[in-house]
Structure 1
Amino acid sequence: MQRLPTLSAAFAVTLLLAVGARAQPTRIDVVTPIAPELAAYGSSAIGVRTLTAVDRNRPDILRTKEGEPTARYDRRFVLEVWYPATLAPGQTRGGTYQTVARDPSIAVTLRGQAVRDATPSTAGGPFPLVLLSHGYPGNRYLMSHLGENLASKGFIVVSIDHADSTYDDQQAFASTLYNRTFDQGFVLDEMARLAAPGSGSFLSGRVDVTRTGLVGYSMGGYGVINTIGGGYSEMAQTMRGAPPNRLLRERAASNPAYRASIDPRVKAAIAIGPWGMQVGMWDAEGLRGIRTPVLFVGGSVDDVSGYAKGTRALFEGTVNADRYLLTFVGANHNAAAPHPAPAETLGATGRAVIAYTQHADAVWDTVRMNNILQHFATAYFDRHLKGDEAKQAYFDVVPSGSDAVYAVDREGRVQSTHTYWKGFPRGTAVGLTLEHASPAGHAVR
């Protein structure tokens, strides 16, 4: 779910000035001079391929009637896979993606650093896996900036088009409520199948699914919470709009089979503006089931997923996990995750304005937020999926960026009073907070 902010008359005029201008591809790979250190692309070239997959005999929420037998169908997926690559002589980094905006009548071209169907790198690996799960609605390109960035640093990144939940295939919300967690689990299993020796896939021997990270935004974050152990509450099973026949009980905290199903291959998760806490999808008992390390990310004025009763409440309630909360002060629901607004949406009017506001925030620059997410996602997954203990230093910071002291002399020597966030240029941690809590029974740093 994404917020649709109100546009001022002056801003609307600015958008209209772009009408008639030929839209250039929107860059998803911009790293600004004030970006934090780990936002920069890594040393590896990036390949990208599109895969399809089918989960046989999945419950068909849209055709199932309350009180009647559960209908079944084959649920189909389109996946975008970014990976470390080796470029052929004469090949250069760069390529485009053809997609659509939130208003699917608007065709969109994105440009990044990945090369379509490039040869997978044989240096290093097998690489850790990161799954990206978009919001409702969204698509597999919504966090493409993060997919490319992590792939350049030695990760295999798979972004999911969630059926019934994309811009051009948005169906009843009940389907997303039921399917999101099952989609994440199925794609992880599919990657394990393709990674196996003799699979015939370019991923064979290149992916280590025992070191998997999840990134979910909005409804993707909702799925992440349940995937890592946050069982649904009893109320959630019968709430308005819930799937029929109490089907959410399959993933409820009260179901012993659910507890036994938590996947140990998932070693860390990032939940960005996760939806659901504010409407009671979880209670205290359900959240106690989460033991996987989590980095929560949110805007302090998120009016879709909520902040105090949403993302922050999840952070506070996940008492058995080591977790962080990165807050963009003053940001709304679009904090960090969506790539910059497509150039083709700048002249949008009427209802088509949602195609722009899907990516916009009234206070924060989207590229800056993307760069900050890239920085922390790199540090977090390096720490938890690669065992790079040195990356912990990027999280051992003064909780409020505005309180941090920058004390470096003209020769670049760090002074004893220096407490600035590691990797952040002077003055650029303002507007951010980063809080930490340890599992119950452990000291809080």
Structure 2
Amino acid sequence: MTFAKISSLPLAVLATGTMALANPIDTQLPNAPELAAYGDLPVGVRTVEMVNPDQINILAIDPAADKPAEMPRYDRPLTVEVWYPAVADAVGETDYRAFLRDGTTEVTLTGRAMRDAAPAEAGESAYPLVLISHGYPGNRFLLAHLAENLASKGYVVASIDHTDSTYRTQAAFGSTLVNRSLDQLFVLEEMAKLSQEGDLAGLFDAENTGLIGYSMGGYGAVITAGGGVTEASVGYPWGAPHGTLGIHQAGSETHEALPDDRIKTIVAFGPWGMNTGFWDAEGLSGVQVPAFYIAGSQDDVSLYENGVRAMWENTSSVESALLTYVNGGHNAGAPMPAPAESYYFNEDKGFDISEHYTDPVWNTARMNNIAQHFVTAWLDEQLKGEAEKGAYFDLVENSNDGVWSVNDDGSEKEDHSHWKGFAQGTAKGLMFEVKTPE
């Protein structure tokens, strides 16, 4: 795979008159499947600061010392980016300022959402809410391509900066293990309050929420949905200190009380943990809502056969699906295209920063478009009750086996089995499997 040099990439003129590299997150390729297209609604975006009070301060616990009599506590800050349908005549800047994986370089991303645009007026039917949870490390903009896309189709989307887990705040892994699901549920509660007050009141319904997680965000989503971690993982010396992960252990009172019935479905991109013993059949049988897993068959972080695929196979109590990018890696579908400034080798990190966003085989915009298509169909069916979207999942398992067979008028012949929503010859290198409850 050949990467373009930064010097050859297009430039954009900012309002200040300076030149900046163009980093679009809203690319729609000519071969994008049908439901990847942006919707008809203009989109606004705003930043909301939240604080979750009196949380266990994992970073203040010394795992090498005796367990403290009382766990140290603190007020946990969370920054959340919120995308929403905006008024028809909305105006606003369409740039984002975000840090790269190196944690030091701030870049400009360009999209379609307008900063601080006025929200659309609440209608008779409130929009569903979608939460997005990034990986370790990551930030709230990593899946911005999907957030914008969904908001244009009638969703309010809240993407979380998880403290101790962003590019700028990355710290001990134990904090991510314990806090990821807690953050998701706290943001749900805060968004529920916003749905009742201010200019977002009545626009969305937090009682009808979907949760999207990538990597460690997917790990958290599975916990939030009812999946409990193993006893062995609670005791890992490199994990959460002094058994603090026990609140999420399968069968514990704390975990049994965790799931929130406002969350109706989850989408998990490359969810982590099966590869290191955090999940087993018993724990995954606790997942209580329909689950859509998305993975690359060559995922070298969460793994595939003994990782994401095994998680899907053991999610036994609910309807579940698995979309596989054949030969795709850990970044299959989720991260936005690599910012132009990320194409450099960072001596401190020991790798090319662009590798955090790219895939060795697949084009990122292509992966994003496929994810936008399938996630739209899944959420429309699960959250909006659009049963007809189920047709987009009535597919031959291997996309390469699909047959294009249509009449002169475009109607499908009996032997037509090409993947619905994909133009002729464009459904390649993918697998889709569904499983009903045992």
- Amino acid corresponding to residue 75 of structure 1 in structure 2: R
Q: Matched residues in 2 for 1:159 and 1:349: separation? A: 27
Counterpart among 280, 283, 295 of residue 286 in structure 1: 283
Conserved? CA contact 1:102–1:354, under 8 Å: no
**Does residue 202 of structure 2 align to residue 205 of structure 1?**
yes
The CA deviation at 1:402 is 0.5
1:273 aligned partner: 270
Q: Matched residues in 1 for 2:6 and 2:56: separation? A: 45
- What's the Cα RMSD here? 1.9
Conserved? CA contact 2:165–2:171, under 8 Å: yes
Distance 1:291 1:349, change over 3 A: closer
Gaps of 5+ in 2: 12-18
Conserved? CA contact 2:164–2:171, under 8 Å: yes
2:415 aligned partner: 417
Further displaced range: 245-254 or 268-277? 245-254
- Amino acid corresponding to residue 404 of structure 2 in structure 1: Y
Q: Matched residues in 2 for 1:291 and 1:261: separation? A: 11
Gaps of 5+ in 1: 1-7, 441-445
1:77 aligned partner: 78
Conserved? CA contact 1:15–1:348, under 8 Å: no
2:437 aligned partner: 439
1:443 aligned partner: none
2:134 aligned partner: 134
SS in 2 for 1:109: strand
- Please show how residues 36-435 of structure 1 align to structure 2 within 5 Å: 36-65=33-62, 66-68=66-68, 69-88=70-89, 95-122=94-121, 124=123, 125-196=125-196, 199=197, 201-348=198-345, 350=347, 353-435=351-433
Alpha-carbon deviations, 1:105-159, whole Å to 9, x = none?
A: 2221110110111111115341100000000000000000000000001000000
The CA deviation at 1:185 is 0.7
Q: Matched residues in 1 for 2:279 and 2:395: separation? A: 30
- Amino acid corresponding to residue 166 of structure 1 in structure 2: T
**Which one has more relative contact order, counting CA pairs under 8 Å at least 6 apart?**
1
Q: Matched residues in 1 for 2:429 and 2:413: separation? A: 24
Conserved? CA contact 2:323–2:431, under 8 Å: yes
The CA deviation at 1:188 is 0.5
SS in 2 for 1:212: strand
- Amino acid corresponding to residue 57 of structure 1 in structure 2: D
Q: Matched residues in 2 for 1:296 and 1:121: separation? A: 32
Distance 1:246 1:421, change over 3 A: same
- Amino acid corresponding to residue 221 of structure 2 in structure 1: V
Equivalenced residue count is 425
Percent of paired sites with the same residue: 47
The CA deviation at 1:92 is 5.5
Q: Matched residues in 2 for 1:16 and 1:343: separation? A: 6
Q: TM-score under structure 2 normalisation?
A: 0.93
SS in 2 for 1:248: helix
Conserved? CA contact 1:128–1:209, under 8 Å: yes
Q: Matched residues in 1 for 2:364 and 2:237: separation? A: 34
Conserved? CA contact 1:23–1:343, under 8 Å: no
Distance 1:169 1:188, change over 3 A: same
The CA deviation at 1:304 is 0.2
SS in 2 for 1:82: strand
Alpha-carbon deviations, 1:380-439, whole Å to 9, x = none?
A: 110010100000000111011001111124432221111111101112211000000000
The CA deviation at 1:285 is 1.1
Q: TM-score under structure 1 normalisation?
A: 0.92
- Amino acid corresponding to residue 425 of structure 2 in structure 1: G
Q: Matched residues in 2 for 1:300 and 1:19: separation? A: 31
Q: Matched residues in 2 for 1:94 and 1:399: separation? A: 43
- Amino acid corresponding to residue 122 of structure 1 in structure 2: E
Q: Matched residues in 2 for 1:42 and 1:419: separation? A: 27
The CA deviation at 1:20 is 12
Distance 1:168 1:403, change over 3 A: same
Q: Matched residues in 2 for 1:240 and 1:415: separation? A: 59
Q: Matched residues in 1 for 2:330 and 2:434: separation? A: 21
Alpha-carbon deviations, 1:293-341, whole Å to 9, x = none?
A: 0100000010100101110000000111100000000001010000000
Q: Matched residues in 1 for 2:77 and 2:385: separation? A: 34
Q: Matched residues in 1 for 2:333 and 2:60: separation? A: 35
Alpha-carbon deviations, 1:171-196, whole Å to 9, x = none?
A: 01111111101000100011111212
Further displaced range: 98-107 or 144-153? 98-107
Further displaced range: 123-132 or 303-312? 123-132
The CA deviation at 1:291 is 2.3
Q: Matched residues in 2 for 1:40 and 1:247: separation? A: 43
1:24 aligned partner: 21
Further displaced range: 207-216 or 346-355? 346-355
Conserved? CA contact 2:9–2:21, under 8 Å: no
The CA deviation at 1:346 is 3.1
Q: Matched residues in 2 for 1:317 and 1:104: separation? A: 36
Q: Matched residues in 1 for 2:85 and 2:384: separation? A: 15
- Amino acid corresponding to residue 83 of structure 1 in structure 2: Y
Q: Matched residues in 2 for 1:113 and 1:437: separation? A: 36
- Amino acid corresponding to residue 305 of structure 2 in structure 1: A
Conserved? CA contact 2:332–2:359, under 8 Å: yes
SS in 1 for 2:418: coil
- Amino acid corresponding to residue 103 of structure 2 in structure 1: P
SS in 2 for 1:27: coil
Conserved? CA contact 2:122–2:202, under 8 Å: no
Conserved? CA contact 1:19–1:347, under 8 Å: no
- Amino acid corresponding to residue 98 of structure 2 in structure 1: T
Conserved? CA contact 2:56–2:72, under 8 Å: yes
Q: Matched residues in 2 for 1:389 and 1:26: separation? A: 36
Q: Matched residues in 2 for 1:435 and 1:93: separation? A: 41
Q: Matched residues in 2 for 1:345 and 1:291: separation? A: 39
